[in-house]
Amino acid sequence: MSETDYNRQPVRIIELEQPRCSLRFGTSPCTATGTPLCYNTFWTCKDRDNYTPDGFIRWRFYDGRNGDQFLYEEFANENEIGTNAFPVLLSASTSPSRINVGGQKDNESPFGVMSKLTVKISEFEFDDHVGDFYVNNVDRDASTAGWVAKFIARNRFYPNMILRDYRGYVGEALADMQVSEYVLDNIEQDGPKSATLTGRDPLDLATDKKAQFPRPSDIQLAQKISATTETFSVSCAETELSADYGNTGDTRYMRLGSEVISYTGWTGTEPDFTLTGVTRGVLNTTADGHEDEDSGQRVGRYENISMYKVAEDLLDNHTQIPSRFFQFSQWDTEGETYLSTLKTTATVAEPTSVEKLCAELSRDGLFYIWWDARTQKIPMRAVRPPSETPVEWSDDLNIIQDSFSEKAKSDDRLTRVALFYGQRDPTETLNEFSNYRVQRLRIDTEVEQEDATGGEVIERKIFSRWINTDNNALLVAASLVLRYKYIPRYLTLRVDAKDRAIDIADVVDISTRHKIDSEGNREATRYQVISLEEIEPGETVSVDLQTYLFIGKFAIIMENDAPVYADATEAEREDGCWLADETTGLMPDGTQPYLLQ
C-alpha cells in the first residue's frame, strides 16, 4: 500500500450480474408475440426454445456517502450492461472460507467452511430506464414499482447469477479494486423498505440436492424379465441411457433392484428403447428376475483413475459450477507430482451428493479443495510438505499486539484408525462391515498409554469404496493418526497490510512469547493458514491457522539419472532424496536426513 492510500476514502461496491437474453422480442429467430413484452429473462420469455442468455446486466449498489462518484459503463453495448451504482447499500458482511485439509474433519464439508456474502439494500422505486429494451414501447406499462419487487417477479430462480464484492478507494476503477465473487443464493424482501441478498462460494453448487452423482433416473422396464434375459426394453428419455457417469466409455451401467447390468448401446425411438450388449449381474451382483415397470437407476463407475481426477470429473461435469472457476491445469500439475499413485476403481450405485463423494475422495486420495476468493478459482492441493520455505512471523515484526488467541479442540483427537476397503457389493450399505474384504488398523501406542494420556482410546472407522490397495489404506490411516494424535490447536491472529500476500493453505513458522518449549524459551511452531479475512481492507488481515503435519526435509522420488548427493545442486537437494549415513544418521554435509512421506 502506498502512503497516499491512507488518505484516500474507502468505498465498497456490490454488483449483481444477471444473465439476460440477447434477442429482441419478436425479432427472428425469436417468435414471441402479444403483450406484455418480455424483460429478456427466462421467466418472462414467450419463446423459450430460442431463449439465448449470452448477455448480462450488472446491477451495482453502494452506500451513497461519497455523492455521485460512481458513473461506470451504464451501457457498454446493448447486450452487456453495467449500471451506475445505486446509493441504496445498507450493509455488506462476509464470512471467509476455511479449508478442511484432506477432508479429514467429519464435522465439516470436504470444501471446509464455505464463504458467504450477506448484502442488505433499501428498496427503491425504479422506472426500468436501465436494461429494458422496450421501456418506451406504447405497449409497455411505465411502472415505478420497487426494484427488488420487479427483480423477483421477473426472476423466480437465480441460476448463473453472480454477486461481486468490490473494495477499493474513491476514484479507482472497478478493475483496480479487490474483488470477491459469490454465487447468488437467495433474495428476501425484509419488508416494504429493504431486502437481503445472499451469496455463497461456487462450491455450494456441489452440495446435497444441488448436485448428485449419478442423478436420479426415470427409467422403467417395458416387460417382465427373468434372471437370464439378455435382450429387453425400457421406457425413458434417451438422455437417461446416454449420460456418462464415469470413465468407462461405451460400457454403461444400470441398477435393477440389487442387480447391476452393463450395456453398450440401444435401439429404438424415444421413449421406447431396446438395450444392446447387455451383461447381467455384473460388479459382484447377482442376476435376478424383475417385474414389468420396475425402475432402473443409472450407476456411476470409475476404473483405474487417480482419485483427484474423479473429483475433477464430478465437479466439472456433474455440478452447475461455472467452468471459468476451475483451472484444471493446476490440479493436474499438483496431482501428477504428488498423487499419481493414488488410483481407484469404484462404483457409485445410487444417487449421492457430489459433496459427500468429494469428502470421501479427499480423505482417501489425500488432497483438499477450496474456493479462493482472491483468485476467483477452485484450487486443489495434496496433503504434503510445503514446496517453498515457510514464511516466518513473530511478535516483533508481524503479529499485531494482543491479537493472538488459541483454541485446542480435544474432540478432534484420535489414537487409532480402523479402515475397511475392498468393497464386495456396491449395492449394499456403505458402512456394513461384512461388505469389505480387508480391514487395516493403525494405532499410536504412545498416546494410548495410561501415563501419557490416561489410556483413552479414540477410534475412527472408515469405510472406503475408493481404496483398492494396502499401501493406500496405510497412507490414509497413518496420515490421520499423525495429524490428530495430539490435541489439534488453532490460532487466530492479525497482521497488517505488509503481510497481506499470505494466502489460504500457505505454511507459516510462528515465533511468539505465547509458544515456548519446556525450558520456557520461545519455540518456532509450524502452522498452516486455513482461513483469512481482511478486517480493514488494505490495512488489517485476520488469519486462522492450524498446527501443521509436516516438519522436516521430505523425500521425493527422483529420476534414474539423478546425480549423487555431492554433485547435486541446492535445488535438486530440495526436491530429491538420498540415503543418510547409517552411522551418524546425517547427510554427508551434516544436514538432517530426508523423511519419507
Give the pLDDT confidence of 190-218 residue by residue, as tens digits.
989 999 999 998 998 998 778 999 999 99
Is pLDDT of 373 > 90? Answer: no
Report the percent of the chain where pLDDT is more than 70. 91
* Sign of the torsion formed by the C-alpha atoms of 32, 35, 40 and 44: negative
Is pLDDT of 67 > 70? Answer: no
Separation between Cα atoms, residue 520 and residue 178, nearest integer Å: 42
Q: Which value, in Å, is the radius of gyration of the alpha carbons in the chain?
A: 29
pLDDT at residue 236, rounded to an integer: 97
pLDDT at residue 563, rounded to an integer: 83
Residues 166 and 247 in one domain: no
Residues 33 and 95 in one domain: yes
Residues 402 and 541 in one domain: yes
Is pLDDT of 595 > 60? Answer: no
pLDDT at residue 71, rounded to an integer: 47
Q: What are the tens digits of pLDDT across the range 4-36?
A: 444 577 888 999 999 999 999 999 999 999 989
Residues 480 and 405 in one domain: no
Confidence of residue 243 (pLDDT cuts 50, 70, 90): very high
Residues 231 and 363 in one domain: yes
- Over residues 402-409, the mean pLDDT reads 89
CA atoms within 13 A on the CB side of 43: 12
Confidence of residue 478 (pLDDT cuts 50, 70, 90): confident
pLDDT at residue 74, rounded to an integer: 53
Exposed / middle / buried, residue 531 (Cβ in 10 Å: 0-12, 13-18, 19+)? buried
Ordered alpha helix ranges (H), 463-587: 470-484, 570-574
Residues 294 and 437 in one domain: no
Residues 248 and 375 in one domain: yes
Is pLDDT of 542 > 80? Answer: yes
Exposed / middle / buried, residue 442 (Cβ in 10 Å: 0-12, 13-18, 19+)? buried
Residue of higher predicted confidence among 532 and 141: 532
Confidence of residue 102 (pLDDT cuts 50, 70, 90): low
Which segment of 54-68, 259-273, 309-323 scores lowest on mean pLDDT? 54-68
Domain that holds residue 276: 202-383
User: What CATH number does residue 519 fall under?
Assistant: 2.40.30
Q: Of the residues 484, 509, 535, which one is the last residue of a structural domain?
A: 484
Report the percent of the chain where pLDDT is more than 90. 55
Number of domains making up the chain? 5
Angle at 144 between CA 142 and CA 146, to 5 degrees: 140
Residues 417 and 335 in one domain: no
Residues 371 and 303 in one domain: yes
Is pLDDT of 500 > 50? Answer: yes
Q: What are the tens digits of pLDDT across the range 71-86?
A: 445 555 788 888 888 9
Q: Of the residues 181, 200, 219, which one is the last residue of a structural domain?
A: 200
For residue 370, give the amino acid letter: W
Residues 174 and 226 in one domain: no
Is pLDDT of 440 > 90? Answer: yes
What average pLDDT does the structure give for the chain? 88
Residue of higher predicted confidence among 384 and 247: 247
- The pTM is what? 0.84
DSSP three-state, residue 352: strand
**CA 25 to the chain's CA centroid:** 38
Q: Of the residues 456, 484, 512, which one is the last residue of a structural domain?
A: 484
Is pLDDT of 315 > 50? Answer: yes
Residues 593 and 538 in one domain: no
Confidence of residue 422 (pLDDT cuts 50, 70, 90): very high
Separation between Cα atoms, residue 192 and residue 227, nearest integer Å: 64
* Most confident region among 266-275, 468-477, 572-581 by mean pLDDT: 266-275
Q: How far is CA 4 from CA 116, 169, 539, in A?
A: 31, 11, 13
Residues 72 and 55 in one domain: yes
pLDDT at residue 557, rounded to an integer: 60
- Burial pattern 294-331, b for ≥16 Cβ within 10 A else e, equals eebbbbbbbeebbbbbbbbbbbeebbebeeebbbeeeb
Separation between Cα atoms, residue 150 and residue 148, nearest integer Å: 5
